[in-house]
Amino acid sequence: MYKNAATPVAVLGASGYVGRELLGLLDGHPDVTLAFASSESESRLDGHDLIPLAEAEARWDEARLVFSCLPHGVSAPVVARAEAAGARVVDLSADLRLSDRAVYGLTEVYRHALPEADVVANPGCYPTASVLSVLPFARSGVIDVTRPLIIDAASGVSGAGRSPRRDLLFGEVAEDFRAYSAGNEHRHLPEITRQLSAVAGALDVVFTPHLLPVRRGILATIHVPLTRELSRGEAEAILLEAYTHEPCIRVLRDALPTLKDVIYRNRLALGVAPVKHVSRPMLTVVGAIDNLVKGAAGQAVQNMNVMCGFPETRGLSC
Amino acid sequence: MYKNAATPVAVLGASGYVGRELLGLLDGHPDVTLAFASSESESRLDGHDLIPLAEAEARWDEARLVFSCLPHGVSAPVVARAEAAGARVVDLSADLRLSDRAVYGLTEVYRHALPEADVVANPGCYPTASVLSVLPFARSGVIDVTRPLIIDAASGVSGAGRSPRRDLLFGEVAEDFRAYSAGNEHRHLPEITRQLSAVAGALDVVFTPHLLPVRRGILATIHVPLTRELSRGEAEAILLEAYTHEPCIRVLRDALPTLKDVIYRNRLALGVAPVKHVSRPMLTVVGAIDNLVKGAAGQAVQNMNVMCGFPETRGLSC
Amino acid sequence: MYKNAATPVAVLGASGYVGRELLGLLDGHPDVTLAFASSESESRLDGHDLIPLAEAEARWDEARLVFSCLPHGVSAPVVARAEAAGARVVDLSADLRLSDRAVYGLTEVYRHALPEADVVANPGCYPTASVLSVLPFARSGVIDVTRPLIIDAASGVSGAGRSPRRDLLFGEVAEDFRAYSAGNEHRHLPEITRQLSAVAGALDVVFTPHLLPVRRGILATIHVPLTRELSRGEAEAILLEAYTHEPCIRVLRDALPTLKDVIYRNRLALGVAPVKHVSRPMLTVVGAIDNLVKGAAGQAVQNMNVMCGFPETRGLSC
Amino acid sequence: MYKNAATPVAVLGASGYVGRELLGLLDGHPDVTLAFASSESESRLDGHDLIPLAEAEARWDEARLVFSCLPHGVSAPVVARAEAAGARVVDLSADLRLSDRAVYGLTEVYRHALPEADVVANPGCYPTASVLSVLPFARSGVIDVTRPLIIDAASGVSGAGRSPRRDLLFGEVAEDFRAYSAGNEHRHLPEITRQLSAVAGALDVVFTPHLLPVRRGILATIHVPLTRELSRGEAEAILLEAYTHEPCIRVLRDALPTLKDVIYRNRLALGVAPVKHVSRPMLTVVGAIDNLVKGAAGQAVQNMNVMCGFPETRGLSC
């Protein structure tokens, strides 16, 4: 596609699952052009030459905006150098998500701060699904913070990256299912708790991720303790009121989302079920996203769109 | 295998996933011989002729023990007729699980009642995984019944049976994951609640099943509210004390089970993780079974073994 | 997307896998608008109302072009009525593929005849992959027609449709692989033989399809007897010369395509390997397509684009 | 299981997929006991301690028979040392399959030579499926050796081993299918050709393996050129006559085998389809095995049983 006066962008760490997804989205984006992309392990991808990071660091001036898909720990200092060199950055690593150095790029929540942002910390995949699913109830004041909010979430293997690991071999993952980081050991917990507590006040969250034998997608089943009974219609109304104008959020009526509703899309799909046969009110909320799109590369593009003044869903299928 | 003086048994509804699993186990069992097996849809299976149920009903006298894998609703009256004709019965349907007409066949709990039982109601797959995972904590008095016990469980598709249904086509299930019967709508909830309440006293249970893109296996992630903190070692000790002599239960140390640990085996594998960063004590327990084996056909054989005085794990791989 | 002066089109049989794929492609096509879509089993899909076929038959005048995704046998008479009512038709069923009533819509071969065509018979998925993979060698006169051409092809389950069938359940297909219609019993054989014989002269083809445990994609492994040795470079040169200007065909160098190269794209990917250690020259050609896209809905759109004078790849990702 | 006077055996390379399968089979074998097992990467497996190979080499005297599941290239010298130390060996690597130092352990063909064998080279998985499927026709003299015999075979990922490799990650293999070593580049070709030529005389074989998104199983679709027409019944009769007394080979009537017929079993299942619409007679033969059982560990146990005078299927499910 011929791109007139397109904004030059760069991608660091382009050969992982997230980087590749991002390259694909940028290729189809009418308002940007790829200045350069880096990888340490591959030199060519989908028609693009990839250069080592060391080489990329000499070329910050070629890119107006830099996406970092570098590993956690590696990313932060590179982001700092890119920023110092005058580039705006969307950091897809976890490095800056709990820091004040960056705007937290949960687009639907921090949209207002993005146009002025120099550095945006793109949220984790689990936090994106979890926080957006619960936030409308937190804002409505219906969450009973004296009881824990339980999140059991399951992700496709692309969430674990593309490095060769025995436990991610097809022969190990197919026909299997497992919990991991149980007992609130997962890195994404503070990200979730921070965002929810900012609105609902301090509350206990129990977050248990699982590994699914699928390639992409996250489903979060969230049990929300309530201060009062909500019918299915009332709960849906709270979500619909919060999200009716959101192009990337779909609230289902009388139904729960599945991965099929969201994969390959920059979309969160949401559904609810009031819990019967319990003595104190609870609501089960189910949220689904594609971990590589709304959970990573797609939301990064959505953030870039707002940062750069492009239409928010440009280049995205929502 | 030549079987001398073997006990004749029969299988009703042999062509579904559970019935086929059961036929396979009985074929390898040295102490029994298959008198007859019924199916409405197939006439031959794994070297056995299958007869219509109507025909089977004329032959109760040929079988000392009858396994019913008939559909829920269909099974109960047939079981009654088999019983009236003098056969002992293991009913794998849900029909009698909440009834006093049958011994509830959770072998590890009701073993003492099985030798005298005429009719045994084989437990549901989800209840088997859930109840056995929680019961030792209930017996130890460490469950805080003022807060809900949350069970998020996921099952392979064989749990949904072998009837042609569009939503169970490969094209629909592969690369997908979904919750169903959310909001405590699943038939297995009363079975779980009844068994746990009998020991722990009245308590709220929130049970949400999910459909996994695998053929067999159930993983239950269970969040147990506690009256006091338990370290991982203390929690494991409670399980080990309860189950150390159980041949079909495996308690893992410092690890959580996955489906791989249990499929094709008559085994429950168990692991625990105390929940950090919460203000009131909680424990996450993960239990895994093969829904077709310990969750159905295998436990049925285990029950038969106890009913008939055979060694409990005869014909089973635990 | 606002579509100014868009061409109104209709889809018959919209709720199967092919129909749904087609609806999705048409939704994203800037030059067409959906006049109506029919289904007997569903009334709503992806934001479109679906009407029964009987109702659709009263509305031919609303559509300039009609896509029929009706079942084989059902489609032909409906196509005739739509044609009689003045609509142009792309028939995705097998009904007219061997008939002279329709232009055979293998776009790369019959492109010249499409602008004037009233009825186009969209090719089968296996023939699309097979014929386009072999045709350049047939045209070059290097095929030895005294020896058989062997095609072993494997397809994802969406090729078998979305009707509930026991043999297509997840529990039956996952972890399985099977040949079917072996011995040249498959309906697609005459389609393949007809197209190849038209160029190469009479030749024997042995075509054996297989069912893969994947949702979409066809890989055809084709063993071509040659009149003379071809090096890998020479064989690639024949393909490159034939297809260098084809936007939907990708010839790989020193590599063989896999399903990953083509799924979700309107693309045939091709690679070759000369066969060593044989006494008479042979070439193995591997071709891959997405059976729902280049093998069905995508090629139908490609055909429509040529028929209507739109750019050939409009609305398609190649 | 208590094993009285059991034969002590050892396993080298026990932690790969084949080694683990073998350990499992030996655990259930009533006539053997495990003296020791080695692994370089793991120290404990299924209740057995694993020792480094260097340590194992000092203990040859403890084992009457040694199974080597060591990598190709590594195995041969170790086998030589074990043999020199007086142990009998079943070598599951490819190292000795084309050598005269070892008996080729295709049990059904070389059964007579096994009782006296010191070293047995266990066949490759593809050769096991291919050779046994074709041999009865070769012996009957119905193969036309002037035309090539075409084998398109597909294997589950366990055939590629358990080492961490990016191309074997779940995210790469799921929903994919690919040919590899096309053009007769695969190491198993000489093994196949040697066995078939020994009976049929020199003939061309074209062998193309494929990688399936399943964990275990091989399906070989084999196109056999014939000297004369064979009806389905005649072809089945040739197989039945050859294999009627073989406990590990199942000839299907009017049906083709699928992976489901064989996985987890030491079984080759076979079916045929005469090829219609061709000018010279051909037969398609489809053979299926579990690559880890009849294609590796199971056949190794079958060979051991014959070597040691145990019943041939002891410890095996056929």
- CA-based nearest distance B166→chain C, Å: 5
State pLDDT tens for residues A193-221: 999 999 999 999 999 999 999 999 999 99
**Token duo for residue B199:** 């020991």
Residue type, B157: V
Instruction: State residue A4's pLDDT score.
Output: 58
What number is the average pLDDT over the span B109-122? 98
What number is the average pLDDT over the span D103-127? 98
- CA-based nearest distance C288→chain A, Å: 17
Strands D65-68 and D88-91: what pairing?
Answer: parallel
What number is the average pLDDT over the span B82-103? 96
Which stretches within D35-167 are classed as H helix?
A: 53-56, 75-84, 107-110, 125-139
The single residue listed with the structure tokens 């007579």 is: D112
Nearest by Cα to C173 from C158, C153, C184: C158
Q: Which CATH homologous superfamily contains domain D7-123+296-308? A: NAD(P)-binding Rossmann-like Domain (3.40.50.720)
**Which chain B residues have a beta carbon less than 8 Å from that of A204?**
277-280
State pLDDT tens for residues D4-25: 579 999 999 999 999 999 999 9
Sheet holding D249-251, edge to edge: D178-179, D205-211, D149-155, D218-225, D282-289, D268-274, D249-251
Assess contact for C4 and C10: CB atoms under 8 A: no
CA–CA separation, D290 and D298 (whole Å): 9
Assess contact for B12 and B69: CB atoms under 8 A: yes
Measured CA to CA in angstroms, residue C90 lies from A296, C31, C63, C97, C293 at distances of 39, 17, 12, 11, 14
| Angle between helical axes of D17-27 and D298-308 (0-180°, round to 10) | 50
pLDDT tops 90 at residue C3: no
Instruction: State residue D16's pLDDT score.
Output: 94
CB contacts < 8 A, A to D, total 60
Residue type, A134: V
Nearest CA in chain C to B175: C215
CA–CA separation, B113 and B103 (whole Å): 7
Query: Which residues contact residue D190 at a Cβ distance below 8 angstroms, ignoring those fewer than 6 apart?
Result: D98
Nearest CA in chain A to C171: A175
DSSP state of B297: I
Would you place residue C4 in the very low, low, confident or very high pLDDT band (cuts 50, 70, 90)? low
Instruction: State residue D1's pLDDT score.
Output: 43
Are B157 and C169 a contacting pair at CB < 8 A?
yes
Regarding predicted confidence, which is higher, C178 or B2?
A: C178
Report chain D's mean pLDDT, rounded to a whole number.
96
CA–CA separation, C123 and C125 (whole Å): 6
CA–CA separation, B35 and B44 (whole Å): 14
Nearest by Cα to A189 from A124, A239, A143: A124
Are D162 and A171 a contacting pair at CB < 8 A?
yes
**Token duo for residue C177:** 């692989």
CA–CA separation, D203 and D230 (whole Å): 20
In CATH, B125-291 is 3.90.850.10: no
C318 belongs to the catalytic site = no
Are C212 and D212 a contacting pair at CB < 8 A?
yes
Assess contact for B20 and B65: CB atoms under 8 A: no
Task: Using an 8 Å CB-CB cutoff, list residues of chain A that contact chain D.
Answer: 17, 156-158, 162-166, 168-175, 213-215
State pLDDT tens for residues C238-266: 999 999 999 999 999 999 999 999 999 99
Nearest CA in chain C to D180: C256
ipTM of this model? 0.96
State pLDDT tens for residues C271-313: 999 999 999 999 999 999 999 999 999 999 999 999 999 999 9
pLDDT tops 90 at residue D46: no
Q: Which fold has domain B7-123+295-308?
A: Rossmann fold (3.40.50)
- CA-based nearest distance C41→chain A, Å: 19
Catalytic residue numbers of B read 125
Are D172 and A170 a contacting pair at CB < 8 A?
yes
Task: Using an 8 Å CB-CB cutoff, list residues of chain D that contact chain B.
Answer: 174-175, 264
Instruction: State residue C66's pLDDT score.
Output: 98
Nearest CA in chain A to D160: A171
DSSP string covering C72-103, please? TTTHHHHHHHHHHTT-EEEE-SSTTTTSTTSE
Q: Which CATH homologous superfamily contains domain D125-294? A: Dihydrodipicolinate Reductase; domain 2 (3.30.360.10)
**Which chain B residues have a beta carbon less than 8 Å from that of C213?**
170, 174
Nearest CA in chain B to D317: B28
Would you place residue B4 in the very low, low, confident or very high pLDDT band (cuts 50, 70, 90)? low
CA–CA separation, C314 and D65 (whole Å): 67
What number is the average pLDDT over the span D296-308? 98
Query: Which residues contact residue C50 at a Cβ distance below 8 angstroms, ignoring those fewer than 6 apart?
Result: C14, C15, C37, C38, C39, C42, C43, C44
Instruction: State residue B3's pLDDT score.
Output: 53
Assess contact for B12 and B66: CB atoms under 8 A: yes
Instruction: State residue B219's pLDDT score.
Output: 98
**Token duo for residue A31:** 């308002």
Nearest CA in chain D to B214: D214
Are C183 and D154 a contacting pair at CB < 8 A?
no
**Which chain D residues have a beta carbon less than 8 Å from that of A163?**
166
**Which chain D residues have a beta carbon less than 8 Å from that of C212?**
177, 212-213
Are A172 and D170 a contacting pair at CB < 8 A?
yes
DSSP E strands, A71-228: 88-91, 103-104, 119-121, 149-155, 178-179, 205-211, 218-225
What number is the average pLDDT over the span B114-121? 98
List chains touching A (3+ CB pairs under 8 A): B, C, D
pLDDT tops 90 at residue D2: no
**Which chain C residues have a beta carbon less than 8 Å from that of A264?**
264
In chain A, the percentage of residues whose pLDDT exceeds 90 is 96
Are D214 and C176 a contacting pair at CB < 8 A?
yes
Are D165 and A164 a contacting pair at CB < 8 A?
yes
State pLDDT tens for residues A226-282: 999 999 999 999 999 999 999 999 999 999 999 999 999 999 999 999 999 999 999
**Which chain D residues have a beta carbon less than 8 Å from that of B175?**
174-175
Domain positions in chain A:
7-123+295-308, 125-291
State pLDDT tens for residues D237-256: 999 999 999 999 999 999 99
pLDDT tops 70 at residue D3: no
| Angle between helical axes of C188-200 and C125-139 (0-180°, round to 10) | 10
Are B275 and A177 a contacting pair at CB < 8 A?
no
Task: Using an 8 Å CB-CB cutoff, list residues of chain C that contact chain B.
Answer: 17, 156-158, 162-166, 168-175, 213-215
Are D157 and A166 a contacting pair at CB < 8 A?
no
Residue in B157, B171, B175 nearest the CB of C162: B171
- CA-based nearest distance D174→chain B, Å: 9
Strands A32-37 and B282-289: what pairing?
Answer: unpaired
Q: Indicate the burial class of A194 (C-beta count within 10 angstroms; 0-12, 13-18, 19 or more).
A: middle
Are D204 and C260 a contacting pair at CB < 8 A?
no
What number is the average pLDDT over the span C90-101? 96
Nearest CA in chain C to B167: C164
What number is the average pLDDT over the span B109-123? 98
Q: Indicate the burial class of D286 (C-beta count within 10 angstroms; 0-12, 13-18, 19 or more).
A: buried
**Which chain A residues have a beta carbon less than 8 Å from that of C264?**
264
Assess contact for B201 and B145: CB atoms under 8 A: yes
Are B175 and C213 a contacting pair at CB < 8 A?
no
Over its C-alpha atoms, chain B yields an Rg (Å, rounded) of: 19
CB contacts < 8 A, A to B, total 160
State pLDDT tens for residues C218-245: 999 999 999 999 999 999 999 999 999 9
pLDDT tops 70 at residue D232: yes
